Amino acid sequence: MPELIPLESLTRDDSAPFELVPGEAGSGRSVSIDLPIGPPLVAESPLLTAEPRARLSKKGRLLKAFLLDRPVWVTWQVTYNCNYGCSFCTYWQNDFQPHEENSLHDFAVGAEKLSELGSLIVSLAGGEPMLRRDIHQIIEILAQDHFPYMTTSGSGITPKRARQIWEAGCWGVSVSIDYADPDKHDHHRGVKYAYRRAITAIEQLLSERTDPSYQRVQIISVLTDDNLEEMPKLCELARDLGVYWQVQPYSVMKTGNEKQRHLPGATELLLDLKERYPETVHANRVYLEKFEEAVNDGIDGCIAGRAMFNVDNRMVVSKCVEFNETEPCGSLRDHSMEEVLDRLHDANERNTCTACWYSCRGETEVLYTPRGFYHSMHSFLYQSRGQQGANGNGKGGE
């Protein structure tokens, strides 16, 4: 009988005493969100009219988009609600109603417009994507022609839902863990048992895969001012669980708190981990090489709007996740892909922002350097070795 995790792991711990900036400690933490949210499920999606495109053909279309200098990576925020309360994020203060966020029809319209650019990597995030009861249908719609990935806290994953996600055509799931110490992780996530929930989610995701030759599970960690020494332990945790490990630095754009930036020494430490655990560390080494520069001077030449862009929970397109309100570039609901692309190009040309070195920016940007391209595309195009998990628990293709 599997160990049961207390239900408190599904809701914020409103007594967690971390500070929020600017001066809003505790505000908004009483927002209550029922689990899961979103419109009722429809038994059979009427939105899928064709068979999914073959994997090889999708890879060819992705490569073509890259060679034509079109966007290759889209971050898509499926909901801005969240049941956690992380110290380095403010999304948990949102309280969108289901009708205010994208419907399945919106996803179908958006996926088709994206197809005009090629078959793209679509990174589904939020908020907490698992809050949407129809997340597997969203994935199925996007997987027709694209490569959907998802990032989650692990909350809301069950064996059944993990299976649905893989069957829908998900290419990878990243589970967020920022501290190898369970108490610290729970504290910073603002939720009791968050660590146990994340580990259980990883185990369930691994064991429910339908084709481990391409379905990836990884831990993703946010590097802040107080967890640099946790990185080796997190990397070893990923290795022990048999999953990949990815890391990205905190950005001041999330909360406005300058003090949470990561400390000196990150590049050296992360490159050492890449050297020691090449099978586990999934980050491109050229991306890791720039962590120091990112925190000291900021990195110029952001490719947001050119190689990547964001779609928010109401179909608003922007150059990246941080500019959907201040610099919208149209909507996948109301504008053609051509119009949206023109606005994104303008936004990219005007862009002087150096505020982040998120993995969506950094991992995409290094593709445009010969070394970065080699390190990333080699594994993406030719990877045939499947992840087996700690207990060899890939179930094999079906």
CB distance 262 to 225 below 8 Å: yes
- x/- string (CB under 6 A) for ligand SF4, residues 90-109? -xx-----------------
The SS3 assignment for 279 reads coil
Cα 71 to Cα 309: distance, rounded to the nearest angstrom: 7
For ligand SF4, the closer CB: 28 or 386 = 28
Structure tokens at 75: 């971050």
For ligand SF4, the binding residues in 70-89 under the rule CB under 6 A are: 82, 84-86, 89
Per rule CB under 6 A, is residue 204 in the interface with ligand SF4?
Answer: no
Using the rule CB under 6 A, which residue among 13, 101, 128, 208 binds ligand SF4? Answer: 128
DSSP 8-state assignment for residue 331: B
For ligand SF4, the closer CB: 76 or 84 = 84
In Å, how far are 156, 175, 233, 245 from 182, measured between CA atoms? 18, 14, 12, 17
Q: In the β-sheet with 73-77, what is the strand arrangement from edge to edge?
A: 244-249, 216-223, 172-176, 147-152, 121-125, 73-77, 308-311, 317-318
For ligand SF4, the closer CB: 117 or 222 = 222
Using the rule CB under 6 A, which residue among 175, 356, 366, 367 binds ligand SF4? Answer: 356
DSSP 8-state assignment for residue 100: G
- What DSSP element (H or E) covers 310? strand 308-311
Per rule CB under 6 A, is residue 362 in the interface with ligand SF4?
Answer: no
For ligand SF4, the binding residues in 22-81 under the rule CB under 6 A are: none
Cα 110 to Cα 311: distance, rounded to the nearest angstrom: 9
For ligand SF4, the closer CB: 5 or 253 = 253
The answer to whether the peptide bond before residue 154 is cis (omega within 30 degrees of 0) is no
CB distance 7 to 192 below 8 Å: no
For ligand SF4, the closer CB: 62 or 299 = 299
For ligand SF4, the closer CB: 74 or 320 = 320
Structure tokens at 231: 């990185």
CB distance 192 to 377 below 8 Å: no
- In whole angstroms, the minimum distance from the beta carbon of 248 to ligand SF4 comes to 11
- In whole angstroms, the minimum distance from the beta carbon of 43 to ligand SF4 comes to 30
Using the rule CB under 6 A, which residue among 161, 262, 361, 375 binds ligand SF4? Answer: 361
Size of interface with ligand SF4, in residues (CB under 6 A): 24
Using the rule CB under 6 A, which residue among 283, 320, 340, 341 binds ligand SF4? Answer: 320
Cα 354 to Cα 246: distance, rounded to the nearest angstrom: 21
- x/- string (CB under 6 A) for ligand SF4, residues 275-314? ---------------------------x-x----------
For ligand SF4, the closer CB: 108 or 199 = 199
Per rule CB under 6 A, is residue 127 in the interface with ligand SF4?
Answer: yes
- In whole angstroms, the minimum distance from the beta carbon of 315 to ligand SF4 comes to 19
In the Cβ-directed half-sphere of 216, how many Cα atoms lie within 13 Å?
25
Per rule CB under 6 A, is residue 146 in the interface with ligand SF4?
Answer: no
User: What DSSP letter does each residue of 237-270 carry, written as one string?
Assistant: HHHHHT-EEEEEE--TTTT--GGGSPPTTHHHHH
Per rule CB under 6 A, is residue 224 in the interface with ligand SF4?
Answer: no
DSSP 8-state assignment for residue 37: B
Per rule CB under 6 A, is residue 351 in the interface with ligand SF4?
Answer: yes
Per rule CB under 6 A, is residue 253 in the interface with ligand SF4?
Answer: yes
Kindly list the residues in this chain that would bind ligand SF4 in the complex (CB under 6 A): 82, 84-86, 89, 91-92, 126-128, 153, 253, 302, 304, 319-320, 322, 351, 353-356, 358, 361
